[in-house]
Amino acid sequence: MILLMGFIIALIIIGMGTIVYSTASSNSRSASLQSSMNAYDSFTNIREEYGKVLMFGSGSGAYTPFNQSNTTVSGFESKMMNITASHGYILSFKWGKYLDESPPTAEVTIQLFDGMNRFEDTITYNLKTGRILYDLIPPGNITDLTAVTGAADGKINLSWTASGDDCDIGIASEYELRYSNQSIDTMAKFNNATFYPVNFNPDINGTPQLFEVRELDPGTYYFAIVVYDEILHASKISNCCPNATAAN
């Protein structure tokens, strides 16, 4: 967020500087101002639009959009470069990393030079939404999940310490709890385990969390939790492999 504000402020300063410069030095003030504002508007529009193109060009993040044969992406880039070139601007796209995570992301640096001002931003896009991702850090994983047989039949008590929205900072948004009759030590096993709704939102990092699982058939159960932030960044899986027996 701070980076975004800095970027916007930088653009405003550049824009203000251009207006002052245009007013002081040019007889055709309005034409010069118009030209400068068009470069800025073009840059911000391309910056927004490119995220949608990367979303479509990656099957919503299923595969990398950064491939020379990907005409959705390269076609858009060529078109934008040609349009801006016809206004005397130099536009460039520099491909960064594609990460197949949750959510899948793509990083790119966009530059636009209008002969006087250089607009540049390195952006990470959420490929599921096509939107710019300002929160780049997933919640920390839970490291102290424990399971204990409950006082009543079919109940198991879970406890853990809350992590944060960004690793161990802040407040995450959601818990996903799953259980199985086998240990859950990989994301694949987690996704195949049985979902159990947690009826509260995470507290701030470091807060003890208590939760009672109910109405289990007799047997031994393993538990694991994944933590999400508000844009659905997922933590890694919680510590292996707390388990407890439900009595009958």
Q: In angstroms, what is the minimal distance from the CB of 165 to Ca ion? A: 4
Which C-beta is closer to Ca ion: that of 154 or that of 170? Answer: 170
Q: Which residues bind Ca ion (CB under 5 A)?
A: 135, 137, 165-166, 229
20/204 with CB nearer Ca ion = 204
* CA 50/CA 122 separation, integer angstroms: 12
Main-chain dihedrals φ then ψ at residue 4, nearest 5 degrees: -65, -45
Q: Which is nearer to Ca ion, 12 or 137 (CB)?
A: 137
User: Which of residues 130 and 139 has its CB atom nearest to Ca ion in the complex?
Assistant: 139
Q: By Cβ distance, which residue is nearest to Ca ion?
A: 229
Q: Taking the complex as a whole, how short is the minimal distance between the CB of residue 164 and Ca ion, in angstroms?
A: 8
- What sign results for the dihedral spanned by CA atoms 5, 6, 7, 13? positive
Q: Which is nearer to Ca ion, 202 or 242 (CB)?
A: 202
Nearer to Ca ion, 77 or 229 (CB): 229
Helix axes 29-56, 2-25, angle to 10 degrees: 150
**Distance of closest approach, residue 135 Cβ to Ca ion, in angstroms:** 4
Q: How far is the CB of 168 from Ca ion (least distance, A)?
A: 11
Minimal distance, residue 225 CB to Ca ion, in Å: 16
The least CB distance from residue 141 to Ca ion, in Å, is 13
